[in-house]
Amino acid sequence: MSAIISINNVAKTYATGFEALKHVNLEIQRGEILALLGPNGAGKTTLINIICGIVKASAGNVVIDGHDNVTAWRAARSLVGLVPQELTTDAFETVWATVSFSRGVFGYSPNPQHIEKTLKALSLWNKKDNKIMTLSGGMKRRVLIAKALSHEPRILFLDEPTAGVDVELRRDMWKLVRGLQETGVTIILTTHYIDEAEEMADRIGVINRGELILVEEKAELMRKLGRKQLTLHLQEKLDSAPAALAGYQLELADSGNDLVYSYDAHTDRNSIATLLHDLAASGIKFKDLQTTQRSLEDIFVSLVKERA
Ligand SMILES: Nc1ncnc2c1ncn2[C@@H]1O[C@H](COP(=O)(O)OP(=O)(O)O)[C@@H](O)[C@H]1O
Ligand SMILES: [Mg+2]
């Protein structure tokens, strides 16, 4: 795969003096789904807005399919669709008008068939004559997606597309994203849901305090970071972890009332079954159990620590 977007030494200091991005370098591969993961305030929206030409970088440059996004902004911009994080829509227009108009803004001639197909894919067809102001939040977000797709962009940016949206929209959106990838569209999304990045992305970039701290194939990242914990609430408390189960490196918690097992959800697939079997053989009984995944927050903490 070759790069469709090159981000070279991009930095951003806002007028307030706040340094939101520090020399970001990133090559986005043609046809991939790249997820940018990071906590609130990390700089995800700033980076996406710089690539899309909405925010001006303080340093560095972005090249989109051979076009510098400042000196050749028109060509660069026409390749890109952006679904922004904030809901911003023209309240008094109809769905059909606003989506059709969006296409025109990019200098493309009208293509009612494409608009129809897009609205149908987003379950907006029966709302096409409704004014935007009459739509629910979820429907407005669907309109933003339709607008971003109105000019058949080769690259689609989705900024926190599923934060606060209903399950149905989330499902529709991922179906759409997969369909677009099959037609060769490159997709970049930001999220702070690790499960979402895990489900959708080919590669994951982690961004924290304005720095891109790593970019990695998803499988590799999840292998490194995807540790889970199984907590067994025991019927009778233990003074020490049972010697017979030393191989599992169990830890006691809650004054010996809980037995905690840390495992890698991707490589230790059968280990829970064998652990439960071995527990039963040792006569250890539990009344309840629960599994937890390390939160993204935990992962960041350990990532940042690893780099210190
Ligand atoms: N227009 C602006 N002026 C000053 N600071 C800003 C502006 N936009 C964003 N910031 C700050 O830059 C940081 C990164 O913001 P943003 O890119 O929106 O992060 P994210 O999308 O990862 O949540 C935040 O601390 C935010 O407050
Ligand atoms: Mg954001």
On whether the CB atoms of residues 211 and 22 are closer than 8 A, the answer is yes
Q: Mean of the pLDDT values across residues 114-120?
A: 95
Which fold does the domain 3-223 belong to in CATH?
Rossmann fold (3.40.50)
- CA 261 to ligand 2 centroid distance, Å: 35
Domain segments of the chain as ranges: 3-223, 227-296
How many CA atoms are closer than 13 Å to the CA of 210, on its beta-carbon side? 13
Q: Mean of the pLDDT values across residues 298-308?
A: 60
148 pLDDT band, cuts 50/70/90, is very high
Walk across the sheet containing 258-264 and list its strands: 251-253, 258-264, 227-234, 286-293
What per-residue confidence (pLDDT) applies to 304?
58
pLDDT digits (tens, 9 = 90+) for 50-81: 999 999 999 999 999 999 999 999 999 999 99
- CA 241 to ligand 1 centroid distance, Å: 47
What span, in angstroms and rounded, lies between the C-alpha atoms of 137 and 128?
16
Q: Mean of the pLDDT values across residues 15-26?
A: 97
Q: Whose CA is nearest to atom 16 of ligand 1?
A: 43
- pLDDT beyond 80 at 19: yes
What span, in angstroms and rounded, lies between the C-alpha atoms of 1 and 67?
18
pLDDT digits (tens, 9 = 90+) for 28-50: 999 999 999 888 899 999 999 99
* Ligand 1 atom closest to residue 12's alpha carbon, by position in its atom list: 12
235 pLDDT band, cuts 50/70/90, is very high
Report percent pLDDT > 90 for the chain: 60
- CA 251 to ligand 2 centroid distance, Å: 38
What per-residue confidence (pLDDT) applies to 295?
57
For residue 20, give the ligand nearest its CA. 1
- pLDDT beyond 80 at 269: no
Q: Which residues line ligand 1 (CB under 6 A)?
A: 14, 16, 18, 20, 38, 40-46
- CA 42 to ligand 2 centroid distance, Å: 8
Helix axes 112-121, 137-149, angle to 10 degrees: 140
Nearby residues for ligand 2 (ion, Cβ within 5 Å): 44-45, 85
Q: Which amino acid makes up residue 212?
A: L
272 pLDDT band, cuts 50/70/90, is confident
CATH 3.30.70 fits 227-296, yes or no: yes
* Ligand 1 atom closest to residue 21's alpha carbon, by position in its atom list: 14
Q: Mean of the pLDDT values across residues 283-293?
A: 90
For residue 40, give the ligand nearest its CA. 1
Q: Mean of the pLDDT values across residues 196-224?
A: 85
